[in-house]
Structure 1
Amino acid sequence: MLPSVADRLGVRRYSGADVFDLPEVRRAVVVLVDGLGHDLLRERSGHAPFLRRHLPDAHRVPCGFPTTTATSMGTFGTGLPPGAHGLVGMQVLDPQVDRLVNELSWEDGPDPRRWQPHGTVFEAAENAGVEVTMVGPHYFEGSGLTTAALRGARFASARTLEDRVDAAVAAVRAAPRALVYLYWGEVDKVGHVHGSRSWQWGDEVESVDQALAALSRQVPDDTLIVVTADHGMVDVPHEHRLDLAHEPDLMAGVRHLGGEPRCLQLYTLEGAAPDLVQVWQERVGDRARVLLRDQLVDEGWFGPVEGRVAGRIGDVVVTMNESFAVVHSGLMRAEIVRLLGLHGSTSDAELAVPVIVVPPRRGVVRASRVGDRG
């Protein structure tokens, strides 16, 4: 999606990349609402009158696999599939040190530029003379995930949603050619804690919708606004879960337990993976798919996989069907085990995200193609 916007802003590197039939403009604001799945938004669009007006023309697109924030941010920020950018899950193995890396927190993680060496869309836009600004919470500035997936933007720190809208409006007004990225994470947080079917989720979407309506009124008339998300969500009652702390047979041969409750990545002892697939499939039945890494790679789940990335993917990957999840109360943090709303797997509710286009009120231009400086 971001390469499409860059194309319409006249960034030569992405010439022809637009797949959404966007207008050519000189200024754009891209809003990513964490956890705002397309199907959830459509089902509960009564909470979002501003977005509902644009839903008939919205695009329903898959966010990629696994359906988790770190992976989707890598795809969003680079325009590459996970097998290329290398952010292949929430918690994955760093083969060089044989240790799990949480790609969200990046605590004690690797050099993010080594981990994800490809250039970002923001870097390309800046090199082409577009002023790029990222608006988000202060702790995102310089974080591992930001550096890996979204480097290249000037950072504007703002805490509340209203403050972020104000910061985005100021940034887009400040430059004749501008790309502003605004992130909001509360819809995802509320969905995790209370569930995506809760009244709390609806209230948060109402707040987002009001803020987006205000954004559309305050930006210059020639500004394109695009609203999207990184994944959707499903609610999984606790009685629909399997706890690996009480399933020793399923942990036999597992060196590291990565991924998350809707998409586990198992890093196994040498030679243990094939037998583990059989044991797991017999135990979970039709509630999950249990696949070897080679099968996932051959079938293109991550797109083409670069050699440096392959070892980060679990030897065995378990993707959950329907309303089902697998936790480990002895290894996973208690707050993860308690979550009601989850994502990571391949259901439509998790995969489908919206690309909602709010066109400029006027002033659409034939943007000249500007090459990279240097």
Structure 2
Amino acid sequence: MTAGSDTVQPVLPAYDGGGLAGVLPSVAASLGVGTGPLDLAPARRAVVVLVDGLGMELLRQRKGHAPFLRALLAQARDLRAGFPSTTATSVGSFGTGLPPGAHGLTGYQVEIPGEGRLFNELSWEGGPDPRTWQPEPTVLQRTAAAGVATTMVAPAYFDGSGLTRAALRGAAFRAADALEDRVDATLSAVRKDSRALVYLYWGELDRTGHVHGCQSRQWGEELEHIDRELRRLSDRLPRDCSLTVVADHGMIDIPMDARIDVAHDGELASGVRLVGGEMRALQLYCEQGAAADVLATWRGRLGASGWILSREEAVGQGWFGPVQERVMPRIGDVVVAFHEPVGVVDSRVMRPVVLGLLGQHGSLTPEEQNVPMLHLDAPDQR
């Protein structure tokens, strides 16, 4: 199917309470810390699990693999990830409670203003000081400062990483690799204190979807694994502890023959200094004076497959939420988001392993943008 972008409407981010940014502030509010846009029952302790890549559309489609999560779907909140629907940006919103235009983690690969080079906000290799790049306080910082024992459970390499320091600083860190070990570490941490917030991250579903595709047998098997462990976690939590399960984005599969490489396409490369973002959500940093021509060229070639906007148009339509002055130069001169199952890459700046991934995300389709919030009140509050 091919349709013009004037007939296919984007799933716009919901930065006023219907998005991922509202989850952690609302859980903190249920513990008596600050306020949040989502009304949750009070609790003394809380566990929040972020399952990377568990989009709402995928969960509904593959719910046969997840009996525990399926039972929660009737009461699920259908949230929006934000733009771009990618991990670094979503974790920024989740961790700070702010839209991308405020926290400033505006994509997978972004230009550092004034340096003329891209850096990867997920790996943070060669990136700026995380506290300078993202200076706003995090929800975990505020919760810990209020006297709630606050813990993050994730792989050891997350401890002190750039993204952790930018978006999730403030929590004590417990390292664990296997999901079973992370569940055990979460249970240990949440039982230790009478007031506690524990954040558990699991990224293997996203990784499986990237490598094998989100429609694959392997993706379903990983969802089964997650579902079993989440049930075990739920069964063993203290009675005054709530459980919240969320995701950072969804995913779709993009065939290898549905991709264009800017490195080998002179027309699309003309006037473009750097190709930032990712395959489904590109940010084009243009040569001086070339932005209007680049916009026209990309619209002419790819306008039937996606939404292609100038920076000013994307900001004006609220894709990034209200944008602070310090953040504006990080956004590309031209912003591209596809609604058809296609993608554009640049093999000059994208690693070969990334170019070979089947599952992709980043755009404003329901499959990529819609994420679940599955919440169980503390049993003492039910």
- Secondary structure, in 3 states, of the residue corresponding to 1:286? coil
Asked if the contact 1:4–1:22 (Cα under 8 Å) also holds between the matched residues in 2, the reply is yes
2:144 corresponds in structure 1 to 126
2:88 corresponds in structure 1 to 70
2:167 pairs with one of 136, 149, 166: 149
Paired letter, 1:4: S
1:282 corresponds in structure 2 to 300
1:179 pairs with one of 197, 214, 220: 197
2:290 matched to 1:272? yes
Residue 97 of structure 1 deviates from its aligned partner by: 2.0
Residue 72 of structure 1 deviates from its aligned partner by: 0.3
1:97 corresponds in structure 2 to 115
Paired letter, 2:29: D
TM-score of the aligned structures, taking structure 1 as reference length: 0.95
1:4 pairs with one of 22, 26, 41: 26
Asked if the contact 2:208–2:218 (Cα under 8 Å) also holds between the matched residues in 1, the reply is yes
Asked if the contact 1:321–1:345 (Cα under 8 Å) also holds between the matched residues in 2, the reply is yes
1:344 pairs with one of 342, 350, 362: 362
1:162 pairs with one of 155, 172, 180: 180
Over 4 Å off, 4+ runs: none
State the number of aligned residues. 360
1:238 pairs with one of 249, 253, 256: 256
> Please, which moves more after superposition, 321-330 or 269-278?
321-330
Residue 363 of structure 1 deviates from its aligned partner by: 5.4
- Deviation track 1:106-146 (CA, whole Å, cap 9, x = no partner) reads 00110000000000000100111000000000000000000
Identity of aligned residues (%): 56
- Secondary structure, in 3 states, of the residue corresponding to 2:197? strand
2:347 corresponds in structure 1 to 329
Asked if the contact 2:42–2:381 (Cα under 8 Å) also holds between the matched residues in 1, the reply is no
TM-score of the aligned structures, taking structure 2 as reference length: 0.93
- Deviation track 1:158-183 (CA, whole Å, cap 9, x = no partner) reads 01000000000000000000000000
- Secondary structure, in 3 states, of the residue corresponding to 2:137? coil
1:209 pairs with one of 227, 236, 247: 227
Asked if the contact 1:7–1:18 (Cα under 8 Å) also holds between the matched residues in 2, the reply is no
- Secondary structure, in 3 states, of the residue corresponding to 1:307? coil
Paired letter, 2:71: R
Residue 239 of structure 1 deviates from its aligned partner by: 1.6
Residue 362 of structure 1 deviates from its aligned partner by: 2.0
- Alpha-carbon distance in structure 1 between the residues aligned to 2:71 and 2:297: 49
Asked if the contact 1:286–1:321 (Cα under 8 Å) also holds between the matched residues in 2, the reply is no
- Alpha-carbon distance in structure 1 between the residues aligned to 2:190 and 2:117: 42
- Deviation track 1:261-316 (CA, whole Å, cap 9, x = no partner) reads 00111111111000111111111131122111011111111111000000000011
2:129 matched to 1:107? no
- Secondary structure, in 3 states, of the residue corresponding to 2:373? strand
1:298 pairs with one of 310, 316, 324: 316
Asked if the contact 1:137–1:158 (Cα under 8 Å) also holds between the matched residues in 2, the reply is yes
- Alpha-carbon distance in structure 2 between the residues aligned to 1:110 and 1:75: 19
Structure 2 unaligned residues grouped into runs of 5+? 1-22
- Alpha-carbon distance in structure 2 between the residues aligned to 1:201 and 1:343: 15
Paired letter, 1:2: L
- Alpha-carbon distance in structure 1 between the residues aligned to 2:351 and 2:381: 51
Residue 156 of structure 1 deviates from its aligned partner by: 0.2
- Secondary structure, in 3 states, of the residue corresponding to 1:42? helix
Paired letter, 1:263: A
- Alpha-carbon distance in structure 2 between the residues aligned to 1:363 and 1:205: 29
Structure 1 unaligned residues grouped into runs of 5+? 365-374
- Alpha-carbon distance in structure 2 between the residues aligned to 1:219 and 1:108: 40
2:98 corresponds in structure 1 to 80
2:20 corresponds in structure 1 to none
- Alpha-carbon distance in structure 1 between the residues aligned to 2:231 and 2:328: 43
Asked if the contact 2:154–2:201 (Cα under 8 Å) also holds between the matched residues in 1, the reply is yes
Paired letter, 2:30: R
- Alpha-carbon distance in structure 2 between the residues aligned to 1:178 and 1:18: 21
- Alpha-carbon distance in structure 2 between the residues aligned to 1:241 and 1:311: 28
- Alpha-carbon distance in structure 1 between the residues aligned to 2:56 and 2:149: 30
2:216 corresponds in structure 1 to 198
- Alpha-carbon distance in structure 1 between the residues aligned to 2:201 and 2:95: 12
1:29 corresponds in structure 2 to 47
- Give the 5 Å matches for 1:298-317: 298-317=316-335
